[in-house]
Amino acid sequence: MTRTARNEQTVAGAASWAAAELAAAGCVSPWAEARWLLEEALGTPLPGRGPQPLPAGAVQRLEAMVARRAGGEPLQYVVGWAPFGPLRLRVGPGVFVPRPETEGLAERAAVHLRAAGQRPLAVDLCTGCGAIACFLAAEVPGARVVATELDPQALAWAQANTAIHGIELLAGDLDGPLPEELAGRVDVLCANVPYVPTGAIATLPRDVRDREPRLALDGGPDGLDVLRRVVARAGHWLAPGGWLVCEIGDDQGGAAVRLLASAGLTEVAVRPDLAGSDRVIEGSKGEA
């Protein structure tokens, strides 16, 4: 008889079953994923040690979620949310899943935004599900936050997340939908731009490559096409002393520094992520 979650009598047994199914499907962290899925199925954190009985209502939910994950859906799509700093963001098919590495970008943007004084203004381009915009609105009370997104599916997820934070969400490509009244007034311009070189898309994990939107991944032949466009327009929008903060690939630091410096930005620096890899590029317009 094929082993299923319905054969299990305890929470620990269900976790073991789920981890085995996920490992067989090629998931890199089957036990961690099994715990997350089981907590979602139970609707509560996993209990401590001891043979805790498995509630009947959780079994079908767990089996359905494990099947979706084993079939290649991103884990965050399956559970319906992704953590980002202190936030819990709604995500699903059609939107890029926010990564922990991007929290470093959001934190640097928040540092600059706090230093800008009262009622500072931040703009988040390529907002995706709205992760960075929501982070800034939550971490810098009183800030005005504007976000843009081109993809209609991603925009729907962004609307669900940004609505509770009072963020101004605009549909369109990069800075295209920004009102001209913001020119020269933006204290922080940030973007998690697509930066994977086109030729490297095929090497990404299956769930990322096949399920997350290519528009949010593909940065052109060298991965820097979208960053070039953002940098070229940054001076138009930034206030004197304002900052551009963008995410980059771990091998793009040198090229990104040259891009920002050639655009006239100062105090250009590359910031590492928690693993020590280059991850954030930032530069200031400088005071008038």
Cβ distance 242 to 285 under 8 Å? yes
Residue 243 Ramachandran class (φ > 0 left, ψ -120 to 50 alpha, else beta): beta
pLDDT value of position 10: 82
Contact indicator for 191, 246 with CB cutoff of 8 Å: yes
Q: Estimate the crossing angle of helix 11-24 against helix 56-70, to 10 degrees.
A: 10
3-class secondary structure for the chain?
A: CCCCHHHCCEHHHHHHHHHHHHHHCCCCCHHHHHHHHHHHHHCCCCCCCCCCECCHHHHHHHHHHHHHHHCCCCHHHHHCEEEECCEEEECCCCCCCCCCCHHHHHHHHHHHHHCCCCCCEEEEECCCCCHHHHHHHHHCCCCEEEEEECCHHHHHHHHHHHHHHCCEEEECCCCCCCCHHHCCCEEEEEECCCCECHHHHHHCCHHHHHHCCHHHCECCCCCCHHHHHHHHHHHHHEEEEEEEEEECCCCCHHHHHHHHHHCCCEEEEEEECCCCCEEEEEEECCCC
Question: Do 151 and 217 contact (CB within 8 A), yes or no?
Answer: no
Please write the tens of the pLDDT for every residue from 115-166: 998 899 999 999 999 999 999 999 999 999 999 999 999 999 999 999 999 9
Long-range contacts (CB closer than 8 Å, 24 or more residues apart) made by 115-118: 116/187, 116/188, 116/239, 116/241, 116/242, 118/142
Determine the pLDDT at residue 54.
77
Give the Cα separation of 193 and 42 in Å (integer).
36
Would you state the structure tokens that stand for residue 123, as one six-digit string?
């703009």
Buried b (16+ CB within 10 A) or exposed e, 139-152: bbeebbbbbbbbbe
Retrieve residue 224's tokens.
Answer: 């820097």
Please tell me the class of the 95-284 domain. alpha beta
pLDDT given at position 55: 79
- What does the angle CA 200 – CA 74 – CA 70 come to, to the nearest 5 degrees? 110
Q: Pairing state of beta strands 121-125 and 144-149?
A: parallel
pLDDT in tens, the chain (288 residues): 345 555 666 888 888 899 999 999 999 899 999 999 999 998 887 766 556 777 777 888 999 999 999 999 999 999 999 999 999 999 999 999 999 999 999 999 999 999 998 899 999 999 999 999 999 999 999 999 999 999 999 999 999 999 999 999 999 999 999 999 999 999 999 999 999 999 999 999 999 999 999 999 999 999 999 999 999 999 999 999 999 999 999 999 999 999 999 999 999 999 999 889 999 999 999 886
Domain locations along the chain = 5-71, 95-284
Q: Which pLDDT score is estimated for 125?
A: 98
Q: What phi and psi values does residue 240 have, to the nearest 5 degrees?
A: -55, 130
Instruction: Give the pLDDT score at 1.
Output: 34
